Structure 1
């Protein structure tokens, strides 16, 4: 009975020591081997009086060793807890820094997104401008093609249209006439004769195509107190008579007209019988004509 009481007292002592260590009253460092031995010796002095067997002492020693080991383990656990708390604090610090960096990155991302939206708007505007320029360029190219086609058509028409123009002087010999009969004036001084439409040997202009033609002429007579008369003929038909009288030493006449001619029609100037004209290197008497346009 006494052996059981002593064993129970030792267990209560160990339980109280462990409770104090867990609650923070006593730590593992506060419990020393000497104190535990003192408690055991106190129990031993009491047990000597009751004749406790050696087996109990062995059990008590084993319990003492277990108590010491438990105290050391508690100490190590506290150290590990402190270390874990420090690591947790470091992790919290890192996490706070990471959250701050994330917030900064989010702001940067938002700014970049805003700038990207502005750039996209500008790019869309530029694309619209490019499309408008392409459309305008396409319109200009279409107009240019039409213009080129028209130019080519005009060139073709111009190439197909005969080159008809002449400008003539009568002679360098002075007075021509008067004669007993009507004569065709033959202009021998050829300044231009495009298309070879005028014949100096016959004095006739021959129309190469059907069309509208322009003619002009000028004549002079330097004799005193004379009457100057010249006719313009279309084939055998007289279409123009030019007359002038002068009493002071010379007379001149000039005129012009447009005629519609058929291909092969002839035009010429005729000097009536008894009339005369004058010409010299100053080209006082001339005859001119050209094709206005074909019909």
Structure 2
């Protein structure tokens, strides 16, 4: 319902007073020679007093309405501010959850590393063979996330990234070459080799590789080559994730 203005209300009140006065005989001119008693007339001063009281009451009600409207605006403003604050907090919470998830994923990715050696404690040569074969390193020193399989000799990449690998070969002198090759998905990439010496000799090599999920890396003993290992763990294979891509 639309509110009437104070002026309109006063006009209505004045009209009501005039009508009541007319119906009761007040505010009428008496006929010549006629007389009227005091209780049959409403004096102008009474009407003015009544109007002043009504105006005062209306003013008070108007002020109360203004205050109520101001309070309502304040409440609405605070409510809107609270809603915006809640939205901001929710946005920050989601961002924090995303950061935590990213950090957890990154942290999990960084925890990829292994170090193995060919023998546990037995002093013996592996090779030479008529055909090449994957070296199965039996002694597991470190194997976080079980990325290296000691049954097959293969490292399998659990995430896409750049990995760093190193391997070391050791052996005695003689005509048989001491060496091995690093392979990715059975493709030969590089070799550590030494030979032609009567004393114990060793060699090493390393590489950083971009691997996809599921790529495999192994150390391959070529035909007619051999390496030795024992409890001192001279012949080793190691690798770890540098960073994810």
In the alignment, does 2:169 pair up with 1:219?
yes
| Aligned-pair CA distance for 1:151 | 8.3
Cα deviation 1:67-114 (Å, max 9, x = unaligned): xxxxxxxxxxxxxxxxxxxxxxxxxxxxxxxxxxxxxxxxxxxxxxxx
Structure 2 gaps of 5+ residues are 1-91
Q: Would the aligned equivalents of 2:161 and 2:241 in 1 still touch at CA under 8 Å?
A: yes
| Aligned-pair CA distance for 1:247 | 2.0
Match of 2:193 in 1: 243
The structure 1 segments of at least 4 consecutive aligned residues displaced by more than 6 Å after TM superposition are none
Match of 1:254 in 2: 204
CA gap 1:153/1:202 in 2 versus in 1, 3 angstroms: closer
Higher helix share: 1
Match of 1:267 in 2: 217
Instruction: Provide the rounded CA distance (Å) in 1 between the counterparts of 2:209 and 2:164.
Output: 6
Instruction: Provide the rounded CA distance (Å) in 2 between the counterparts of 1:188 and 1:281.
Output: 12
Q: Would the aligned equivalents of 2:110 and 2:243 in 1 still touch at CA under 8 Å?
A: no
Cα deviation 1:15-73 (Å, max 9, x = unaligned): xxxxxxxxxxxxxxxxxxxxxxxxxxxxxxxxxxxxxxxxxxxxxxxxxxxxxxxxxxx
| Aligned-pair CA distance for 1:245 | 1.8
Match of 2:234 in 1: 284
Match of 1:203 in 2: 153
1:161 counterpart SS class: helix
Instruction: Provide the rounded CA distance (Å) in 2 between the counterparts of 1:158 and 1:227.
Output: 42
Structure 1 gaps of 5+ residues are 1-144
Q: Give the TM-score normalised by the residue count of structure 1.
A: 0.47
Q: Would the aligned equivalents of 1:227 and 1:251 in 2 still touch at CA under 8 Å?
A: no
Instruction: Provide the rounded CA distance (Å) in 2 between the counterparts of 1:282 and 1:235.
Output: 30
| Aligned-pair CA distance for 1:248 | 2.4
Match of 2:26 in 1: none
Match of 1:158 in 2: 106
Instruction: Provide the rounded CA distance (Å) in 2 between the counterparts of 1:153 and 1:239.
Output: 36
Q: Would the aligned equivalents of 1:207 and 1:264 in 2 still touch at CA under 8 Å?
A: yes
Q: Would the aligned equivalents of 1:221 and 1:276 in 2 still touch at CA under 8 Å?
A: yes
| Aligned-pair CA distance for 1:225 | 4.3
| Aligned-pair CA distance for 1:152 | 4.9
Q: Would the aligned equivalents of 2:173 and 2:195 in 1 still touch at CA under 8 Å?
A: no
Alignment of 1:73-152 (within 5 A): 152=100
Q: Would the aligned equivalents of 1:226 and 1:251 in 2 still touch at CA under 8 Å?
A: no
Q: Would the aligned equivalents of 1:225 and 1:249 in 2 still touch at CA under 8 Å?
A: no
Q: Would the aligned equivalents of 1:220 and 1:284 in 2 still touch at CA under 8 Å?
A: yes
